[in-house]
Amino acid sequence: MDLRELYQDIILDHARSPRNFGALSEPSHLAHGHNPLCGDKLTVFMKIDDDHITKVSFEGRGCAISTASASLMTQILTGKSVAQADAVFAAFHARVTTGAAVEVASDLEDATERLEPLTGVRTYPARVKCATLAWHTVDAAVKGGVLGTTIKTE
């Protein structure tokens, strides 16, 4: 199996059985995200304690890329600090839009490696919004707080 097939399998696995799918009962932060270009819609729920992300979940409907990205994201961000989440998103965003490999702190290398399967979308600009929707939504949740904000990528 070549790398491309392996990446495809990882994306399909997460798209078919998304991890941490469903609302959190008492989120401290949440936000809604919408990617009108593709029709992806999701809500991100978070529990943030003292700048540490103790729980992240999502629900919604979207294409395989947006669902797989959200699923991987919930796994990666659980247990991270808000600053670490920002750093992982910045590196992923650069990688997925420009192809550049961004250096991250050694304790975040594992996180950026786990996102590699999604970085193939950079050759399909329309899909970049799908891959980054969940991350933009988490960013909005962290900044918007418990009342929730709605973001629309364009």
Tell the smallest beta-carbon distance from residue 100 to Zn ion (Å). 23
In angstroms, the CA 14 to CA 46 distance is: 19
Closer to Zn ion by Cβ: residue 20 or 66? 66
Which residues of the chain form contacts with Zn ion (CB under 5 A)? 38, 40, 63, 66, 130
Nearest approach in angstroms of CB 13 to Zn ion is: 17
Query: Least CB distance from residue 94 to Zn ion, whole Å?
Result: 20
Q: Which is nearer to Zn ion, 40 or 139 (CB)?
A: 40
Residue 60 CB, shortest distance to Zn ion, in Å, is 11
